[in-house]
Amino acid sequence: MRKKIVAGNWKMNKTLQEGVALATELKDILAAEKPNCEVIIGTPFIHLATLSNLLKDSVIAVSAENCANKASGAYTGEVSAAMVKSTGAEYVILGHSERREYYHETPEILKEKVDLALENGLKVIFCIGESLEQREKGEQEAVCKAELEGSVFHLTPEQWKNIVIAYEPIWAIGTGKTATAEQAEEIHAFIRKCVADVYGAEMAEDTSILYGGSCKASNAPELFSKPDIDGGLIGGASLKAPDFKGIIDAWK
Ligand code: PGA
């Protein structure tokens, strides 16, 4: 059975002290009331070591939001997959549209990052999704398929077990405009079919596909009720413990 997951993506928010306070609050809330899904928080690099330690006996796993496309060496300012792993983090988010757009991460660069993350024992939350213009032209399926082919469909079946897909329509990220549950389900089912074409039906059934883009406590129950939506990747609503908990509760 595939995992149900609610993952936070803090993006470039929270100082170290603020991050510790938020993670502590979440840890306490989820210790008092066990979640019905896997809970992950994706944080800036500076939080990883402290939060991995703070959360080590909790139900919350820690994820980086990026890693370098080089293994080590003279790449000033970069953080390698091995370094991320050494903090105790279990996951890394790769392929987010903000990194593709603002930091010019191409499919080739993302492929290198995915390979290094897996080689170093990290699990990858790999993001795909179309822009508004692409959606208006009806290109969403072609875009998602191309993004999978460009960076993750070269993986072996064994490696694929460590991949979680996040479908995040760019027009829904941080805009308050969510895809309807029907729109999201339609493309999630298509993504699962693409996975089945490469890895077979059984592995596709076991792949978790998350929805991201203005997901909140009020719309999560409807989104998560769809057969091919296995949880969410949450930006804005992961920055306050009660909001994030509200989404986790959608699995109750
Ligand atoms: P949002 O961001 O929930 O703030 O729309 C989602 C994401 O970018 O992962």
Instruction: Please check whether residue 55 is in contact with residue 19, taking contact to mean a CB–CB distance below 8 angstroms.
Output: no
CB atoms within 10 A of CB 138: 9
> What are the C-alpha distances in Å from 146 to residues 16, 117, 154?
37, 21, 12
Mutation to probe ligand 1, out of 9, 165, 240 (largest number of atoms < 8 A from CB) = 9
Determine if ligand 1 sits within 6 Å of the CB of residue 170.
no
The CATH-assigned architecture of domain 5-251 is: Alpha-Beta Barrel (3.20)
Cite the active site residues. 96, 168
Instruction: Please check whether residue 97 is in contact with residue 134, taking contact to mean a CB–CB distance below 8 angstroms.
Output: no
Q: Per the confidence metrics, is the pTM higher than 0.85?
A: yes
C-alpha–C-alpha distance, residues 221 and 135, integer Å: 24
Per DSSP, the chain holds a count of helices (H) and strands (E) of: 12, 8
Phi, psi of 132 (to 5 degrees): -60, -45
Residues 107-116 have pLDDT tens digits of 999 999 999 9
Residues 9-21 have pLDDT tens digits of 999 999 999 999 9
**Every domain of the chain and the residues it spans:** 5-251
C-alpha–C-alpha distance, residues 113 and 95, integer Å: 9
Determine if ligand 1 sits within 6 Å of the CB of residue 212.
yes
Instruction: Please check whether residue 103 is in contact with residue 112, taking contact to mean a CB–CB distance below 8 angstroms.
Output: no
Q: Name the residue among 210, 221, 218 with its Cα closest to residue 63.
A: 210
The set of residues, in sequence order, having a beta carbon less than 8 Å from that of 200 and lying 6+ positions away, is: 157
Residues 172-226 have pLDDT tens digits of 998 888 889 999 999 999 999 999 999 999 999 999 999 999 999 999 999 999 9
pLDDT at residue 1 greater than cutoff 90: no
